[in-house]
C-alpha cells in the first residue's frame, strides 16, 4: 500500500518534472531519438543481410558433372570421395536419366529434341549436387572436387557468391559495431544531459535526504523519469522504422538484385524492431539517470 502510494506519487512527479524541465528533457529525448534511428537502420540492415547470407548459403550448390562414360562403381567411389571432403555438407546424385526426364517434363521443345537421342548420343552427364558448410571456402572445395578423377566440369556461382557473402559479412560487422558504439555514446550523452537536469534538482534531493527518504526512494523518481525520456525518445524511431521499412519493402517488391535475395517481411519484423528500440530506449534512459543521480546520494 505504502509502496504503491510512493510509486504513484513518483510517476506523477516524474511526468511533471519531464515537462517542467522541458528544454532539458528535449535534449535527452533528441539524443535518444537520433541514436535509436541509427540503431534501427543498423538493425534492419544487419538482420536482412543475415538473412541474405542464409538464403544464399542454402541455395548455393556445387554441381559436379561426371565424364560421360562413368560406371556405377566409379560413381559410388566419387560419392565416397565427395563425402570425405572437409567442407562438404551433403551430396546428392542425379543420374542422366533423371535429368533428362526432368528436362523433358519441363518443356515441350526439350521433349521433342531429346526423345530423338539414343542413350549413347545423349550429351547429358551424370551429376553430383554438393552443398557446402562454409560458403566462404566454396572456391577451394570446388577445386578439390575438380581434382577427383572422372569429374569433368565443376560449376557454382564462381566469384560472385564469395564476394556477395563477404560483403554481407562486412555490412553485418560494421552495423554491429555502429550499434554498440552508438549505444555507448548515447548513454554518456544522456548521463550528461540528465546530470544537468538533476543539478537543477540538487536541492530537492538534498531535502529528500534530509527528511528521511531512503536512497531507493530518492532514486525511483529519477529512474522513472529516465524511463519516460527513453519511451518518448523511441517514438519517432519506431514510427520511422514501421513506415520506412514497409515503404522500402513495397518499393523493392521484397527483394534485392535478384529473386534469390529476399527481404524480411515487414510483419512481424517491424514490431520486433520496435520492441527492441523501446527496450533500448528505456534501459539507456534509466541507467543514464541512475548514473547521474548516484553522485548526489553518497554521504
Residue 294 found at the interface with another protein (CB under 8 A): no
Judge contact between 163 and 263, C-beta under 8 A. Answer: no
Query: Which residues, listed in sequence order, are joined to residue 261 by a DSSP beta bridge?
Result: 256
C-alpha dist (Å) from residue 215 to 205, 209, 212, 228: 10, 8, 9, 20
213 near another protein (CB under 8 A): yes
Helices (H) and strands (E) in the chain, counts: 10, 6
Name residues contacting another protein, limited to 12-41 (CB under 8 A). 20
| Shortest distance in whole angstroms from residue 163 CB to another protein | 59
Tell me the window of 24-32, 56-64, 205-213, 251-259 that interacts with another protein (CB under 8 A). 205-213
111-150 mask for another protein (x: CB under 8 A)? ----------------------------------------
Q: Which residue, 122 or 215, has its beta carbon nearer to another protein?
A: 215
Does residue 40 contact residue 273 with C-beta atoms inside 8 Å? yes
User: Which range, of 76-84, 108-116, 208-216, 231-239, touches another protein by CB under 8 A?
Assistant: 208-216
Asked if residues 88 and 58 have their Cβ atoms less than 8 Å apart, the reply is no
- By the 10 Å C-beta count (0-12 exposed, 13-18 middle, 19+ buried), 130 is classed as buried
- The one among 76, 106, 166, 217 contacting another protein by CB under 8 A: 217
Binding residues for another protein, rule: CB under 8 A, are 2-3, 5-6, 9, 20, 203-204, 206-215, 217-218, 298-299
Amino acid at each position: 500500500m505504502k509502496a504503491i502510494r510512493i510509486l504513484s506519487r513518483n510517476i506523477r512527479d516524474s511526468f511533471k518534472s519531464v515537462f517542467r524541465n522541458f528544454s532539458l528533457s528535449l535534449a535527452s529525448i533528441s539524443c535518444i531519438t537520433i541514436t535509436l534511428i541509427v540503431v534501427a537502420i543498423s538493425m534492419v540492415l544487419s538482420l536482412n543481410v543475415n538473412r541474405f547470407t542464409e538464403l544464399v548459403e542454402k541455395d548455393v550448390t556445387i554441381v559436379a558433372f561426371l565424364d560421360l562414360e562413368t560406371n556405377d562403381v566409379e560413381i559410388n567411389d566419387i560419392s565416397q570421395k565427395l563425402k570425405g571432403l572437409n567442407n562438404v555438407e551433403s551430396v546428392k546424385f542425379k543420374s542422366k536419366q533423371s535429368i533428362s526426364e526432368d528436362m523433358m517434363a519441363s518443356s515441350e521443345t526439350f521433349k521433342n529434341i531429346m526423345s530423338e537421342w539414343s542413350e549413347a548420343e545423349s550429351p547429358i552427364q551424370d551429376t553430383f549436387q554438393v552443398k557446402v558448410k562454409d560458403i566462404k571456402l566454396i572456391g577451394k572445395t570446388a577445386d578439390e572436387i575438380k581434382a577427383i578423377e572422372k569429374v569433368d566440369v565443376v560449376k557454382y556461382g564462381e566469384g560472385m557468391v564469395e564476394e556477395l557473402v563477404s560483403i554481407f559479412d562486412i555490412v553485418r560487422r560494421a552495423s554491429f559495431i555502429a550499434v554498440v558504439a552508438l549505444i555507448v555514446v548515447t548513454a554518456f550523452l544522456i548521463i550528461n544531459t540528465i546530470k544537468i537536469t538533476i543539478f537543477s534538482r540538487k536541492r530537492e534531493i538534498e531535502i529528500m535526504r534530509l527528511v528521511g527518504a531512503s536512497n531507493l526512494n530518492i532514486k525511483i523518481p529519477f529512474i522513472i523519469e529516465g524511463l519516460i525520456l527513453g519511451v518518448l525518445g523511441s517514438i519517432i524511431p519506431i514510427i520511422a522504422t514501421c513506415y520506412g521499412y514497409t515503404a522500402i519493402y513495397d518499393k523493392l517488391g521484397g527483394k534485392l538484385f535478384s529473386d534469390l535475395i529476399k527481404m524480411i517481411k515487414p510483419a512481424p519484423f517491424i514490431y520486433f524492431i520496435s520492441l527492441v528500440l523501446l527496450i533500448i530506449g528505456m534501459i539507456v534512459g534509466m541507467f543514464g539517470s541512475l548514473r547521474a543521480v548516484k553522485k548526489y546520494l553518497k554521504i
